[in-house]
Amino acid sequence: MQSGGPHPKPTDDEEQGRSIRPVSPRSVIIGLFLIVPNVWFILNGYIWSQSRPTTVSLFFNVIVTLAILVGLNALMRRINVRWALRQGEMLTIYAMLSVGSAVVGLDQLQTMIPVVSHPIWHASPENDWGSLFLQEMPEWLTVTDPDALWAYYDSRAPLFATDYWRPWVKPALLWSGFSFTLVMIMLCLNSIFRRNWTEEAKLSYPIVQLPLEMTSEKRNIWTGKLFWIGFAIALIIDVLNGLHQLYPSIPSFMGERGARYDLGRMVHGRPWNAIGWTPLNIFPFGVGLAFFIPLDLAFSCWAFYVLWKFLRIFSVGIGMADLPGSPWIDEQSFAAYLALAGFSLWASRRQLKAAITGVIGRRDMDDSREPMSYTWAVLGVIAGIVVLMIFCMQAKMSFGPALIWIVLYLLISIAVARIRAELGSPVHDLHRIGPEMVLSEVAGPAALGKQNLIFYAYMWSFTRAHRSHPMPHQIEGMKLAGESRVDQRGVALAMTAAVAIALLLGWFIMLDGFFKYGGGGWMYKGREAFSRLELWLNSPGDPNWYGIGALIWGALFTIFLTWMRTRYIWWPFHPAGFAVSGSWSMALFAPSILVSWLAKLLVLRYGGMSSFRPASTFFLGLILGEFVGGAFWGVLGILMHKPMYNFLP
């Protein structure tokens, strides 16, 4: 169908428009209330080196909260059916908690505060940061008051025990505003992409299958034997592993903290030892999640992961090991993400055209069922970018480097959301290769200028990795709203409120924890950011032509994979698998994906689709069982101020 043509065939929800329910006030109130314990759990787990639920695509704190809510709801239904929550209300709460957890996650707020607190306190005569960059750094980007920094690192007193919290208010509000603006731009983009991804391309959204099944009013997984068998297996494994950590004489299953089963430690001699860290752990929840990934995508994940390992060995074998960055896996992956973002924009070109023409008064497409009108969505993107640019320019950035960083970050965000919607990968971290790193390789640090590099150091708060990225949680919340026939705009507003509350609450909880227990134990993220800045300024260098070549190759190879998939049905390799498989986190989950791929292949080959639905409940049980076990050890570790078993290394 051509752009600007007749409206496409109405969806089921559009045909039954009267069945679309508004978001109930009680679901929003409950969601906002439950943000408090969820943010507390996430951040205190980080402080006590315990639970890290935001390192994987499906946040176990939110799933366990939803399970408790489902249990209480069943009890409430017995007392008075009118008091019980409907599926749409529970999924609205889930969407709020999911995106609220994302913005305080390991690669968002938990990185931001250590970065913001770092440069002034850790400047010394030895590193000479004072003359190297501190004199040119805008003071409002960080905390400069020495007493406030002392309170953060060494006071061991609650946040409000002294007045030293006051200098933290301004950076907390400014950086929260920066984060909030980014998330609002993502919401606008998701409003444009939703129809194409969900209704036209019919992406499978594997990550939301568990919350959908947990709250289903038509299919009760809670009475299925296979579900409880999977639940019991995963729970017993986590209980044994947790007891093993406390009492080593108790045997453990493959999942022990530190990934003891590492193939890299067993291989000696060049070039084979170039395989590096290769854990062989199998995580029950990883097996469960991967079961809902399409077969070709699951195959591509583990197959490309193995290919990357062979590439490491091959590069050493042919004498390329001494070249900086060889074999440039991060650069290839980054380019693959950008290519996938380009494909997503092209696939949604009808919606993009409708959004742009709507600004000038033409309505080419009905957007009344979208989270916001296409006109407001495109205006929101423009306004958000303008706000971010003002922030960057006030930090003395140049126009070009600031705008390029924002655009590249948003393209990566689109790719992450698309990969999650289509692939459902357990991870999508893209470690340590953000837009600023690519720009420094392409142009050379000297060409970017000191003021831009200083601001790029603070962007480590957003680009160290992308595991807890908010954008996919927004589009998944929209998918859940569509499945439960809840008003999209109401859910979008509820998620927006959740983000605002979570950000402010997160700053308070995390600062209070660091004031009481000392922030020095978590300064490594700040050290990473400003050590990189120090390296840039002391050794600016020239463009990295090897890295540039890897970027070009990664983009071209992704285009090739996409072309092959569209031309040949039998082609087994998916470009999204190429993008995500080179990351640090994929090393943890590749064995689990391989096991799940084999299991699903056997179920479909010998049982067909009639066996898939019953079998899927077993794998849903694996996810929930490990999540419940992990939540138990996480809460226990926080309350005892002692690291317990953590099923997420």
What are the DSSP calls for 129-165, one per residue? HHHHTGGGS-GGGS---HHHHHHHHH--S-GGGSSTT
Does pLDDT of 243 surpass 70? yes
- Which residue, 41, 42, 48, is CA-closest to 522? 48
Does pLDDT of 522 surpass 50? yes
> Which residues are within 8 A (CB) of 225 and not within 5 positions of it... i.e. 6 or more apart?
none
Please report, for residues 51, 333, 382, 435, 550, the alpha-carbon distance to residue 438 in angstroms, rounded to integers and kept in the order given: 31, 11, 24, 5, 11
Q: What is the pLDDT of residue 348?
A: 87
Give start and end residues of each alpha helix (H) in 348-469: 349-359, 374-394, 399-422, 435-443, 445-448, 450-458, 460-463
Helices and strands (H and E) in the chain: how many? 29, 0
Give start and end residues of each alpha helix (H) in 144-262: 146-154, 166-195, 209-214, 225-246
Please report, for residues 10, 97, 435, the alpha-carbon distance to residue 441 in angstroms, rounded to integers and kept in the order given: 47, 38, 10
Q: What is the pLDDT of residue 260?
A: 61
Average pLDDT, the chain: 91
Does pLDDT of 46 surpass 60? yes
Determine contact, residues 369/18, Cβ cutoff 8 Å: no
Does pLDDT of 451 surpass 80? yes
> Which residues are within 8 A (CB) of 448 and not within 5 positions of it... i.e. 6 or more apart?
401, 439, 440, 456
- Backbone region of residue 528 per phi and psi (left: phi > 0; alpha: psi in -120 to 50; beta: other values): alpha
Q: What is the pLDDT of residue 6?
A: 41
Percent of the chain at pLDDT exceeding 70: 95
Does pLDDT of 3 surpass 50? no
> When comparing pLDDT for 219 and 315, which is higher?
315
Q: What is the pLDDT of residue 254?
A: 61
Q: How far apart are CA 606 and CA 580, in angstroms?
A: 30
pLDDT in tens, 13-37: 444 445 889 999 999 999 999 999 9
Average the pLDDT over 594-609 and give the result. Answer: 93
Average the pLDDT over 550-564 and give the result. Answer: 96
Does pLDDT of 270 surpass 90? no
Does pLDDT of 258 surpass 80? no
Determine contact, residues 639/308, Cβ cutoff 8 Å: no
Q: How far apart are CA 441 and CA 435, in angstroms?
A: 10
Q: What is the pLDDT of residue 362?
A: 66
Q: How far apart are CA 593 and CA 598, in angstroms?
A: 9
pLDDT in tens, 124-152: 999 999 999 999 999 999 999 999 999 99
Residues pairing with 279 in the sheet: 262
The conformation of residue 53, written as its DSSP 8-state character, comes to: G
> Which residues are within 8 A (CB) of 548 and not within 5 positions of it... i.e. 6 or more apart?
441, 442
CA atoms within 13 A on the CB side of 546: 11
Q: What is the pLDDT of residue 2?
A: 38
Q: What is the pLDDT of residue 197?
A: 93
Does pLDDT of 357 surpass 50? yes
Please report, for residues 34, 191, 624, the alpha-carbon distance to residue 62 in angstroms, rounded to integers and kept in the order given: 10, 23, 11
Determine contact, residues 630/238, Cβ cutoff 8 Å: yes
Return the structure tokens found at 262. Answer: 């590492």
Q: What is the pLDDT of residue 262?
A: 82
Burial class (CB in 10 A: 0-12, 13-18, 19+), 641: exposed
Average the pLDDT over 358-369 and give the result. Answer: 75
Average the pLDDT over 453-476 and give the result. Answer: 95
**Coil, strand, or helix at residue 486?**
strand
Crossing angle of helices 349-359/329-347, nearest 10°?
A: 60
pLDDT in tens, 74-102: 999 999 988 999 999 999 999 999 999 99
pLDDT band at 45 (very low <50, low <70, confident <90, very high): very high
